[in-house]
Amino acid sequence: MKLSPRSRLVLIGDSVTDCDRARPVGEGDPDALGHGYVAEIAALLMAVYPARSIRVTNMGISANTVRDLAARWDADVLALKPDWLSVMIGINDVWRHFDPVRQAEAVPPEEFARTYDGLLIRTRAQLKGLVLMTPYYIEPSSIDALRQRMNEYVAIVKQLAMEHDAICVDTQAAFDRALVHHESAVFSADHVHPNRIGHMILARAFLNAVGFTWSAPDRRP
């Protein structure tokens, strides 16, 4: 697995990452990590790789866009000095385009790419590893307007991952594989906020990307 012993893994994002994590920093007690994919990742890392003692920190904040990440990046990322950083942002940047009440908060693709890129430029050299998780919309229809717009932002994140030597977790593809067999309601009530099954899909996609294996070579009796 790519995460080395005693690494600090910081995960930052919006409500999908937040999931009622502790404030100001979500770490330590398992409940402090919230009830979503971050907690699932931490639990599986400790259960299967106990010798590595990976320190997991949840810095998600509900309703965030990439603009909000930029405003808090120094305090919530750089000051924590992560060895590994995982970023999942973009859902609200897209969602706001379709929300007549909050449409002014929508982040256009060009601004999304520019702002995201600037954050990674400032940070990449300080990290041992970087993981970019794409945004997603749990909707199988290729003609759905929000899904089509989300695909644009997924492509941006994939491009940024290539440019910054990051591991890309295609969360949209992970949900699409599940949607072949079940309707979106099985994974989320609103196409965005996952239930426990949806969060496990995200956790599994992340862990697969960093080389997690159930037959961990450093397991101890």
Distances (CA, A) of 147 to 47, 64, 107, 119: 36, 19, 16, 26
**Active site (annotated) includes residue 188:** no
**Active site (annotated) includes residue 190:** yes
**Active site (annotated) includes residue 97:** no
Tokens standing for residue 62: 């509900």
Q: Can you tell me the distance from the alpha carbon of 130 to that of 29, in angstroms, rounded to the nearest whole number?
A: 24
From the candidates 31, 99, 144, 190, give the one annotated as an active-site residue: 190
Tokens standing for residue 208: 């697969």
Q: What residues contact residue 212 under an 8 Å CB cut-off, 6+ apart?
A: 1, 44, 45, 48, 49
Tokens standing for residue 6: 């005693």
Sheet of 167-169, strands arranged across: 55-58, 8-13, 84-88, 129-133, 167-169
From the candidates 93, 191, 193, 199, give the one annotated as an active-site residue: 193
From the candidates 7, 15, 86, 188, give the one annotated as an active-site residue: 15
* Residues belonging to the active site: 15, 190, 193
